[in-house]
Amino acid sequence: MTRPVLQVRGLTVRFDKNEVVRGVSFDLNRGETLCIVGESGSGKSVTSKAIMRIAKPGRIVAGSVLLRPDDIEPVDITAHDDDSAAMREVRGGRIGMVFQEPMSSLSPVHTIGQQIIETILLHRDVTPADARAEAIESLRRVQIPNPERAIDQYAFEFSGGMRQRAMIAMALSCSPDVLIADEPTTALDVTTQAEILRLIKRLQAESGMSVIFITHDMGVVAEIADRVAVMYQGEVVETGSVDDIFHNPQDAYTRKLIEASSKFTIIGDHDRGGALPSANPRTLLDVRDIDLTFRKTEGFLIRKVRENRALSKVSITLREGENLGIVGESGSGKTTLVRAIVGLLQADSGAAFYHRGAGEPVDLLKRGALRSLGLNREIRMIFQDPFSSLNPRMTVEQVIAEPLLMEKKLSKPQIRERVAELLDKVGLSAEMMSRYPHAFSGGQRQRISIARALAVNPRIVIADEATSALDGSIRSQILDLMFDLQAELGLSYIFVGHDLGVVRYFCDRIAVMRQGELVELGTAADICQRPQADYTRALIAAVPATRPADRHLIPKEGLA
Measured from the CB atom, the residue of 83 and 269 that comes closer to another protein is 83
CB of 87 to another protein, least distance (A): 8
Alpha helices in 431-558 (DSSP H): 442-454, 472-489, 500-506, 524-529, 534-541
Q: Tell which residue, 242, 327, 302, has the closest CA to residue 498.
A: 327
CB burial of 368-403 (b: ≥16 within 10 Å; e: otherwise) equals: ebbeeeebbbbbbbbbbbbeebbeeeebbbebbbeb
Cα distance between the two ends of the chain: 27
Task: Check: CB of residue 22 under 8 Å from CB of residue 11.
Answer: no
> Residue 46 or residue 379: which is nearer to another protein going by CB?
46
Give strand ranges (E) for 320-416.
323-327, 349-354, 362-363, 379-382
DSSP tag of 154 = B
Pairing verdict, β 95-98 and 283-298 = unpaired
Instruction: Return the sign of the alpha-carbon dihedral for residues 24, 29, 31, 37.
Output: negative
CB of 390 to another protein, least distance (A): 21
Reduce the DSSP state of residue 155 to 3 states and report it.
helix
Question: What residue ranges bind another protein (CB under 8 A)?
Answer: 49, 52, 54, 83, 87-93, 96-97, 99-101, 104-111, 115, 118-119, 122-123, 154, 156-157, 167, 170-171, 298-302
User: Regarding beta strands 210-215 and 178-182, do their DSSP bridges make them parallel or antiparallel, or are they unpaired?
Assistant: parallel
Closest separation in Å from C-beta 153 to another protein: 9
CA atoms within 13 Å, Cβ hemisphere of 428: 29
Contact assessment for residue 7 and residue 65, using Cβ atoms and an 8 Å cutoff:
yes
Tell me whether residue 163 or residue 547 sits nearer to another protein (CB atom). 163
Pick the closer one to another protein by CB: 91 or 475: 91
CB nearer another protein, residue 107 or residue 278 = 107
Task: Output 107 or 349, the one with its CB closest to another protein.
Answer: 107
Pick the closer one to another protein by CB: 110 or 537. Answer: 110
Least gap, CB of 234 to another protein (angstroms): 20
Nearer to another protein, 52 or 494 (CB): 52
Smallest separation, CB 74 to another protein (Å): 18
CB within 8 Å of 446: residues ≥ 6 apart? 382, 386, 466, 467, 470, 478
* CB-based contacts of 259, cutoff 8 Å, min separation 6: none
In the bound complex, what is the minimum distance in angstroms from residue 356's beta carbon to another protein?
Answer: 46
Nearer to another protein, 131 or 474 (CB): 131
Smallest distance from another protein to CB 369, Å: 37
Q: Which is nearer to another protein, 92 or 531 (CB)?
A: 92
As measured in angstroms, the least distance from the Cβ of 111 to another protein is 8
Q: Do 393 and 435 contact (CB within 8 A), yes or no?
A: no
The minimum distance between CB 52 and another protein, in angstroms, equals: 6
CB of 497 to another protein, least distance (A): 25
Nearer to another protein, 118 or 397 (CB): 118
CB under 8 A, 24+ apart: contacts of 420-424 = 422/451, 422/454, 422/455, 423/396, 423/451
Between CA 70 and CA 4 the distance in angstroms is 8
CB of residue 99 to another protein, shortest distance in Å: 5
Comparing CB distances to another protein, the nearer of 101 and 291 is 101
* Integer Cα distance of 61 and 46 in angstroms: 13
Q: Cβ 349 to another protein, closest distance in Å?
A: 29
- Within a 10 A sphere around the Cβ of 358, how many other Cβ atoms? 5
Query: Residue 414 CB: number of other CB atoms within 10 A?
Result: 11
Q: What is the dihedral of CA 211, 217, 222, 228, to 10 degrees?
A: 50
- Work out whether the CA dihedral 261, 496, 510, 271 comes out positive or negative: positive
